[in-house]
Amino acid sequence: MDAYREIILLLAATIRVATPLVLAAIAGMYSERSGVIDLALEGKMLAAAFASAAVAATTGSAWLGLGAGIAAAGALALVIAFACVTHRGNQVVAAMAVNIMVAGLAPALALAWFDQGGQTPQLDGPGQRFLGLVWPWSQAARRHPIPGLAYAELLSGHNIIVYFAAALVPASAWALYRTRFGLRLRAVGENPLAVDTAGISVNLLRYQASMISGVLCGVAGTYIATAASAGFVRDMTAGKGYLALAALIFGKWRPYPTLAACLLFAFADAGAARLQGVSLPGVGIVPVQFIIALPYILTVLLLAGFVGSSVAPKAIGVPYSKEK
Amino acid sequence: MNPAAKLPRWAEYGLLPLINLCAALLISGAIIRLIGESPWAALKLMVSGAFGAQDSIGYTLFYATDFVFTGLAVAVAFHAGLFNIGGEGQAYIGGLGVGLVGLAFGSWSPWIVIPLGVLSGCAFGAAWAFVPGWLQARRGSHIVITTIMANFIASALMTYLLVNVLIKPGQQSPETREFGPGAAMPAVHDVLARMGIEFAPSPFNLASLLALAACLFVWAFIWRTRWGYALRVVGQNPQAAVYAGISPGRTILVAMVLSGGLAGCLGVNELMGSQHRMLLDFPGGAGFVGIAVALMGRNHPLGILAASLLFGALYQGGSQLSFDMPHVNRDMVILIQGLVILFCGALENVFRAPLAAILGTAGRRPA
């Protein structure tokens, strides 16, 4: 019974860790499918984390925080689209610029506005955070652990952003494969010239994709600062943007495999916290650092074609110019 | 890397970077104003913090030395058309090479240990860069992604080594014991004192000479050797390179190994020159500063030298700033760094075209 309980709690932790990864990876999917490399997931999320925590702390409303997070990440997405789509700048350079700018600007503004050494105030008032929604009868269900505990921990008890992320994946799959917009999006990432010839604006599509990515990164950053924790601290995204990118590559730029990769990486992460110092039979103590590095090692191996293969959208990273 | 409008050399290497820098500073100034401090006063504080006293000049030059290494590393890869974001990880692993020499042979003569440390740092950094280079050259893996992943793997590896293996027994913080005396790169103020010149103490050390030598080496390599020529051809047109009998794969490997080796030298300055032991995260983001430095220095060693000095001054001045302005700290410098990357890199066409129009060179091919 204890092992069952452990597993359920581990899976519940996996869901919580996976949520920002799923949001960011799907965000990246829209942008990369349109042909714009999205290395700025990290920066957009960090900006949203700061903006949402700052606004939630000042106004007392998590929902206003969410709006601010989306606005901040969306503004950065607009900067990137302006540089990369309108001015055909280097996409990797633009993204790194955004990541570094936010890493400096967010703690700088936090220090200036809240005077707490680069953090925002602790969010502890009512309504300042996105808290878990307890589903009906989940307390009663705990009395019958199988399957009651699974119901109480896995289905019930998460905040609304988790459910949004869960719904986002099928919605994105539908949008990508079953709508006109999705068809055009996939086409513009593979062969922008063909899309242009068909009389559809390449730039508009890429702007739209970038903005979707910005909005979703805004939700992801808001989750990190106002749901998973209670306020903004320096560098709090801690590489999640790059991990999401790895998941996106691992999922071959498709919604469901990307979701699977996010869950796998999140499971490894949630497991690493519990495996600290625990000796596994036949393996011995697995260093936590190895588990942390595992998603990155796997992604490199995948990119190298040693375990399966993952082929990026063909036109990714190439600015489109009509004159050519 | 294919600019829309060509500019005369003085504008390409002088005026345009200057305009980009001014744009970055202007936005940072606006944000400082938004915070409620005076941008002008902040600028004055930063300049005096970076150059106002002997020890602050020493610190400025010390930071600049780091940035020369990482800036050159980014630039060499750029010339081959590769974007090496992995400078941070290569510097970290290169530092491991430097540190192992310092720990193992620290009791020997510095005349042996220091060159050994430099070679080891280069070799470790180069080896770490070789992997993404090889994957790009032979398996077609996107080097931007693999170098980013390599940064995280390096960080996890170093944490593991420092926490579990190399830690000085009987202490909590993950640091090694001090290197032996032979692994201490002489500080500039000590050298000057021996010549009878008094200079305030700072970590500024003779690794800066190595940085200057690296600049000279990169210049000679890129523009005066056949390998450098091959590198530039591959960077500008891989198909043409193949017709010219140049192997893009091998050239990519050469560029990445050189790039990693240069980044690996950071450990010589940071560890042998200043910390005298290995500790967590000693590159401290210098690998990313290298991107800004290379972009602003237009991938030329002279430009990189100047941009490194600028960023050294920003870093040193930025840490002084927080003493006098409690609401502004070094984070502001990271913002400036990001803005410089934005304007010099991603938005370079924004100022280039109008500048070319003003100078009347639009459409004219340069000599």
pLDDT in tens, A244-297: 999 998 898 999 999 999 999 999 888 887 777 677 777 777 788 888 888 899
Say what the pLDDT of residue B4 is: 55
Say what the pLDDT of residue A308 is: 65
Q: What are phi and psi of A321, to 5 degrees?
A: -130, 135
If pLDDT is split at 50, 70 and 90, which confidence band does B361 have? low
Domains and CATH numbers, chain B: 62-307 (1.10.3470)
Query: Is A104 in Cβ contact with B337 (below 8 Å)?
Result: yes
Does any CB of chain A come closer than 8 Å to the CB of residue B341? yes
If pLDDT is split at 50, 70 and 90, which confidence band does B2 have? very low
Residues of B with CB below 8 A from A89's CB? 345-349
Query: Is A90 in Cβ contact with B35 (below 8 Å)?
Result: no
Where is B145: in which H helix or E strand? Answer: helix B143-160
Task: Look up the CATH number of the domain holding residue A82.
Answer: 1.10.3470
Contact B282/B271 with Cβ under 8 angstroms? yes
- CA–CA separation, A3 and B5 (whole Å): 67
What is the domain range of residue A250? 2-303
Residue-level pLDDT, tens digit, chain A, 324 residues: 678 888 888 899 999 999 999 999 999 999 999 999 999 999 999 999 999 999 999 998 999 999 999 999 999 999 999 999 998 888 988 999 999 999 999 999 998 888 888 888 888 878 888 888 888 877 777 777 778 777 878 888 888 999 999 999 999 999 999 999 999 999 999 999 999 999 999 999 999 999 999 999 999 999 999 998 889 998 899 889 999 999 998 898 999 999 999 999 999 888 887 777 677 777 777 788 888 888 899 888 888 877 666 778 888 888 888 765
Q: Which of residues 83-102 of B touch A (CB under 8 A)?
A: 83, 85
Residues of B with CB below 8 A from A297's CB? 149, 153
- 10 Å CB burial of residue B173 (0-12, 13-18, 19+) is exposed
Where is A285: in which H helix or E strand? Answer: strand A284-285
Does any CB of chain A come closer than 8 Å to the CB of residue B332? yes
Is A198 among the domain residues? yes
Rounded to a whole number, what is the distance in Å from the CA of A127 to chain B's nearest CA? 28
Is A39 among the domain residues? yes
Is A77 among the domain residues? yes
The structural domain count of chain A equals 1
Residues of A with CB below 8 A from B327's CB? 111-112, 115
Does any CB of chain A come closer than 8 Å to the CB of residue B325? no
Does any CB of chain A come closer than 8 Å to the CB of residue B27? no
Residues of B with CB below 8 A from A101's CB? 334-335, 338-339, 342
Contact B99/B271 with Cβ under 8 angstroms? yes
Query: Is B142 in Cβ contact with A312 (below 8 Å)?
Result: yes
Is A274 among the domain residues? yes
Answer whether residue B309 shows pLDDT above 90: yes
User: Which ranges of chain A does DSSP label H, i.e. alpha helix?
Assistant: 2-33, 41-59, 62-81, 91-114, 138-141, 145-150, 160-178, 180-190, 192-197, 202-223, 240-250, 255-275, 288-303
Does any CB of chain A come closer than 8 Å to the CB of residue B334? yes
Rounded to a whole number, what is the distance in Å from the CA of B134 to chain A's nearest CA? 10
Is A313 among the domain residues? no
pTM: 0.90
ipTM surpassing 0.90 = no
